[in-house]
Structure 1
């Protein structure tokens, strides 16, 4: 059986001894509680594992056994600490059985080692924390390990890099299931950035700073309030009170990309939200997102999302009639 996106209602967190509590906690925070004001049916979350497990310095009593993973629509495998050892066979077998039963399986950080051991990453692109990508590639040569991305979406199998990237992947799953508007609401509740594309570089030397602790903290909201305007790099540099070259260096450090690419991503995400939540024409949305013309919007949208705006809207309305 293959689950379709609107059916992704049950989420199982697969745990065993040695799991990393940070990634586990992130997943639970995203999927266990709907943000205020969201009325769509939310996820039913269970923690599946042996009778008792040790997660970091904490003891955890799972709700159900690992055999129940195969009844979930989505299985999340958090990171686990001891990558020098093979993942527990019981966990590997249960994750493989869940995927064979039709579950969407996602790993956070070093949880990718579990998916690789289960054979779910053979012949696929995958990632994990940058510090462990060489180990993953050497141990599982049939996996195409990409050390330079935040997460990889292969449809029914997804992998993420570490820490903040694990949150990015969880929000990506919510976006797939419920759309950008609701994913953004989850991000606001958790006070994290609403979207970072999976292909964005991992922040190896410079992690994402706290919201109020980097030179661009005031610039980002200023930009988001003016997405309908034809902003240039010079406009952004002037607002940030720095040179264009200095701005580019800070953008690369904070976001992993250039100012114009980051701006284009925000315009596309805003267009997605308008397509999902309004009946505005493509021309109107093009103006509201600073694209200028419907032709420009269609070109960038199709290249970024993979489908034209009209198709995206039609598909979203068909899969999410409750939001139409």
Structure 2
């Protein structure tokens, strides 16, 4: 799980830098998700604007263009800059170089601004040198080319998105949804992000990584799945859950269950359980006044010390620091 971002000012500016060949879905999802983020009082939390290198009509990968009135000067006032993909490859994808117009535009971004990419928009970040020595991801179908052009980047092809503090990347179009919800969750807490997800009719958090979406040969039909075991585990997170117990719910051996689980979810059962317990703890820290010992027990960590250890490893903060960040300003429906 990515590190928790720093909490940011309300109504922060999100600038989306589009280029010719932009995917309308990627542009739309940013406006939809950030545009739906509201405070408990109903106040918009983000101001989303679209800009391009030269204002005017911008070609898309569909049969219609979009009209963009703002130029690159809009980047200067943004707290977050998002670069979607383009289906018209430029120097960043063919030669590993940053064109002069794009370089001039990116130079307008203020130091400390959070910068994110969707799908192959990561090439722009890499060409600008923002990813050297840092962890990033992109669509699985582009990984080989990306590695050849940008060997200094620590590419992780197995995840849906990465968070390296002020630079974030996502794997594909739909992964852009995961990344935007993650940024909203970092900024304003799980309650706000969950409400945005509900309004958009998408899951607030998807399990696993890209491995589950890559086509690969299946040697034999797999008629059973691990879905029932996962659903049962979510109802019993407060108790110790052994791998053999989960496997028994699906009438599988531990070895078969582990293999099927990883095929379906993209991570191991124990990694998945830890993720779910952390999410349960975050929810309770944000939306209840329960003491940390009780939250640790309800989330299945057993002790407050164990909860602190796991939360520190996943988010980089203690339970008390997390609660002080999000409990007052982000909790919705708190008692």
Q: TM-score, normalised by structure 2?
A: 0.81
Shift of 1:101: 4.7
2:48 maps to which residue?
Answer: 45
2:8 maps to which residue?
Answer: 6
Closer, same or farther: CA 266–79 of 1 in aligned 2, 3 Å: same
Asked if 1:205 corresponds to 2:214, the answer is yes
Asked if 1:126 corresponds to 2:136, the answer is yes
Root-mean-square deviation (Å): 3.1
1:94 maps to which residue?
Answer: 105
Shift of 1:36: 11
Alpha-carbon distance in 1 for matches of 2:48, 2:58:
18
Are the aligned partners of 2:161 and 2:170 in contact in 1 as well (CA < 8 Å)?
Answer: yes
Cα shift readout 1:1-28 (whole Å, capped 9, x = no counterpart)? xx96322621111112111233223222
SS in 1 for 2:65: strand
Shift of 1:201: 5.6
Closer, same or farther: CA 172–4 of 1 in aligned 2, 3 Å: closer
SS in 2 for 1:97: coil
1:210 maps to which residue?
Answer: none
* Match among 103, 111, 124 for residue 113 of structure 2: 103
Cα shift readout 1:16-55 (whole Å, capped 9, x = no counterpart)? 2111233223222211223797735421111112311112
Are the aligned partners of 1:40 and 1:322 in contact in 2 as well (CA < 8 Å)?
Answer: no
Alpha-carbon distance in 1 for matches of 2:270, 2:215:
20
1:184 maps to which residue?
Answer: 194
Alpha-carbon distance in 1 for matches of 2:325, 2:197:
24
Shift of 1:133: 2.2
Further displaced range: 239-248 or 254-263 = 239-248
Asked if 1:71 corresponds to 2:77, the answer is yes
Cα shift readout 1:235-256 (whole Å, capped 9, x = no counterpart)? 3333345443333223212221
2:247 maps to which residue?
Answer: 237
Alpha-carbon distance in 1 for matches of 2:141, 2:193:
29
Shift of 1:121: 1.9
Q: Which has the higher contact order (CA 8 A, sep 6+)?
A: 2
Are the aligned partners of 1:13 and 1:47 in contact in 2 as well (CA < 8 Å)?
Answer: yes
Asked if 1:27 corresponds to 2:30, the answer is yes
Cα shift readout 1:210-253 (whole Å, capped 9, x = no counterpart)? xxx99344554443333223233233333345443333223212
SS in 1 for 2:115: strand
Alpha-carbon distance in 2 for matches of 1:72, 1:315:
22
2:95 maps to which residue?
Answer: none
2:293 maps to which residue?
Answer: 283
* Match among 161, 164, 167 for residue 151 of structure 1: 161
SS in 2 for 1:61: strand
Alpha-carbon distance in 1 for matches of 2:268, 2:227:
16
SS in 2 for 1:55: coil
Alpha-carbon distance in 2 for matches of 1:217, 1:63:
47
Q: How do 1:254-293 and structure 2 match up within 5 A?
A: 254-293=264-303
Are the aligned partners of 1:83 and 1:113 in contact in 2 as well (CA < 8 Å)?
Answer: no
Aligned residues: 314
Segments of structure 1 that go 5 or more residues without pairing to the other structure are: 208-212
Are the aligned partners of 2:6 and 2:186 in contact in 1 as well (CA < 8 Å)?
Answer: no
Further displaced range: 107-116 or 151-160 = 151-160
Alpha-carbon distance in 1 for matches of 2:330, 2:30:
26
Q: TM-score, normalised by structure 1?
A: 0.84
1:61 maps to which residue?
Answer: 67
Cα shift readout 1:120-145 (whole Å, capped 9, x = no counterpart)? 22332222112222322322343333
SS in 2 for 1:52: strand
